[in-house]
Each structure stands twice: as C-alpha cells, then as structure tokens.
Amino acid sequence: MAPPVAEGALPAWVAVLGCGLTLCCLGGAGPLWSSSHEWRKLILTQHWPPTVCKEVDSCRDTLDYWTIHGLWKHEWEKHGTCAAQVDALNSEKKYFGKSLDLYKQLDLNSVLLKFGIKPSINYYQLADFKDALTRIYGVVPKIQCLLPEQGEDVQTIGQIELCFTKEGFHLRNCTEPGEQLPYKQEAWLAEGASTEGLMVCEDGPLFYPPPTKTQR
C-alpha cells in the first residue's frame, strides 16, 4: 500500500520526478465542459519509478512502488478539460481526489506481490503480468515497456494502464476486440501516451528493475 497522506499535504509518492500528468484529456486544450471534448473511458496510468528514472537519466534514488506520476496545478489546467464533463471530476479537488481514490482501490503494488511478481535481476514474461492483472481485475490492461538500449537484449517494464468507464468508474478493458477509439475519446488519469521511449510491451521476457539507492 502507498504511504498515508497527511491532511493538507501533497504526498511525496505522487511526484517521482516532479512532472507528468494526472487525469489528462487527450482531446487538447479548450474550455471546461466543452462539447467538443467527447470521450468514452478514463485511463489510470501507473509508472514504475526505476524505469522512468532510467529513461530520463535524472534520478539517483528511486521509489520501490508503482505510483501516479505527478499531481500539480498544471495537469488540471492543461489536461483536465474533458474530465470536467463528469460531475465527479468537475473541479480540481475532485479531479485529483478521484485519481488518488482509484490508485488506492487498484492497489497495484499488492496485487503483483500476491502473485510473487517483485523487482528482480531475473526476467519475467509479459504473460506473468497480464495473467496476474487479468485474474484480479477481470479486465485486460495495457502494459508498456522501455525498448532495449544498445547492448541490452530485453525490454524493461515502465507503466501499466488500467481503464475505467466514463460513468460509474467501473473497470473495463483498455481496448475491446476490434476497437480503435479516436484520439479524442479517451481521458487519462496519468501520463502514458506522451512518454517518449515507452511502447506496448512485446510478448516475451521483460525486466522489472529493482530500485536504485545511492551509497551513503
């Protein structure tokens, strides 16, 4: 479980790098509740900090649990426009509060540990993650990886997306068979699509890197 949040304070675990998005609309900028921003599902993206830090090469220490990547005013102003169509998300407080509620509800860290999936120098199979998440949540997630760098031979898991219905916030498959949602019909509960270097994982082995700690 994530660390408790002190009343009136932003928890440290929501800001791995001090950037990123929480509940952003893929429809672009525009006035709140604009009818031009139609969307059908919410996407909660959780990042694995060691991989994100590897991607941007700017971290010395990394967290050891999956986290929402960023909860700041910028995210609401730039990306909360579509979400504001829903009464439960029509204010900055509701917008971020619902992101935190769903994060805690999913409890991704505990789910993976329940199936013995924990950071390791050994490789897992992508199917290990898919099977565990599908068995617990009953829906198909989207799992994205950092492609191998020169001299490497395996992809590195970076983020996991779980999707919710627009009404009622019920879990749903991120992509239904044969479904290709237009760009403007998704709303995000954390950054995913714009994260450079991350792509949908290929079937096969993947690396789930342990957190790094600076020697003191």
* Beta carbons of 144 and 156 less than 8 angstroms apart: no
Known catalytic residues? Answer: 69, 75, 79
CA 13 to chain centre: 13
Region for residue 203 given its phi and psi (left: phi exceeds 0; alpha: psi -120 to 50; beta: otherwise) = beta
